[in-house]
Amino acid sequence: MRNKRYLSILLIILFFGMSCESKKTADTATNDNVCVDIETSMGHIKVMLYNETPAHRDNFVKLVKEGYYDGTLFHRVINKFMIQGGDGDSRNAKPGQRLGLGDPGYTIPAEFVYPKYFHKKGALAAARQGDNVNPKKASSGSQFYIVTGEVIPAGQLGQVERQLQMQQEQNVFNQLVEAHRDEILAMRRARDTQGLQALQDQLIAEMHAQIAREGVASLTEEQKQAYTTIGGAPHLDGAYTVFGEVIEGMDVVETIEKVATDSADRPKEDVKIISMKIM
């Protein structure tokens, strides 16, 4: 039992023990990581922003300084998955009002630093619209989520990897389709079913060739360790930009994820972001 206790402490240090250098300013041009204190109606959450995702980091800092998030809600909460906020329309939203579409009116190009940064418990990531309208996976200009997820039994890691591989195939195929978009539309207008079938076969062959060159998706040892100990949401890996992580206040995140919600996953009692401040 004593060894297990030390192992638990080690894992907490390993996955949540990173800290930020103290700063007198919020200068993102330095090599220090920027940290943000999120004061919520249920407690404080402190997050560290990754320097390897500079567009997301700088945009988040900009919105924090502008007070964009102050008074907004965690408008979408799913137990054992994640808590989501950043919808500007959620500020002073009426009870039962459907939320999730509010943003500053722009998107941010995806910044995947995968597999270094992945959807382990405590990951801070950018929400976005679906692939059908957003094939380049650009992030929302303001909406974000914090992963809670679940612990994955070691025996299920093979299944997780197969899902990642299927997702990899779909992502590459979608990119190839987008590159041939005009050609596909022209064939559809001409009702050229044979041409469409031939092009589909061609793109499938190109997809397999590209994956063979780049390597088949698989979990790193760090991912395996994280997902089988602290947990996370591996099905999101490589599809959404992870741009930071919780360094303090994960207990607050866990409290928020367990609140009662309505059919749209909005908390029945508002969970408010009172303010955000650069640390």
pLDDT value of position 12: 41
Helix (H, G, I), strand (E, B) or coil at 146: strand
136 alpha carbon, distance to own chain's centre? 15
Tell me the domain boundaries of the chain. 33-151+230-278, 156-214
Range with the poorest average pLDDT among 29-33, 180-184, 191-195, 197-201: 29-33
- Pick from 26, 110, 20, 92: which is nearest to 64 by CA? 26
Burial state string for 183-217 with b = 16 or more CB within 10 A and e = fewer than 16: ebeebeeeeeeeeeeebeeebeebbeeebeeeeeb
Helix (H, G, I), strand (E, B) or coil at 272: strand
pLDDT digits (tens, 9 = 90+) for 66-97: 999 999 999 999 999 999 999 999 999 999 89
Strands 43-49 and 242-248: what pairing?
antiparallel
Q: How far apart are CA 116 and CA 105, in angstroms?
A: 30
Indicate if the pLDDT at residue 17 is higher than 70: no
Q: How far apart are CA 107 and CA 125, in angstroms?
A: 14
Q: How far apart are CA 220 and CA 224, in angstroms?
A: 6
Q: How confident is the model at residue 198 (pLDDT cuts 50, 70, 90)?
A: very high
Q: How confident is the model at residue 38 (pLDDT cuts 50, 70, 90)?
A: very high
C-alpha distances (whole Å) from 159 to each of 73, 92, 148, 155, 163 are: 35, 43, 20, 8, 6
Q: Is 126 exposed, middle or buried (0-12, 13-18, 19+ CB in 10 A)?
A: buried
Alpha helices, DSSP H, located in the chain: 2-16, 54-66, 157-179, 181-189, 193-214, 221-229, 250-257
pLDDT value of position 29: 39
Indicate if the pLDDT at residue 28 is higher than 80: no
Segment 149-175 mean pLDDT: 93
According to CATH, the superfamily of the domain at 33-151+230-278 is: Cyclophilin-like (2.40.100.10)
Tokens, residue 21: 């250098």
Tokens, residue 8: 């638990």
Indicate if the pLDDT at residue 10 is higher than 80: no
CB atoms within 10 A of CB 139: 26
pTM of the model: 0.83
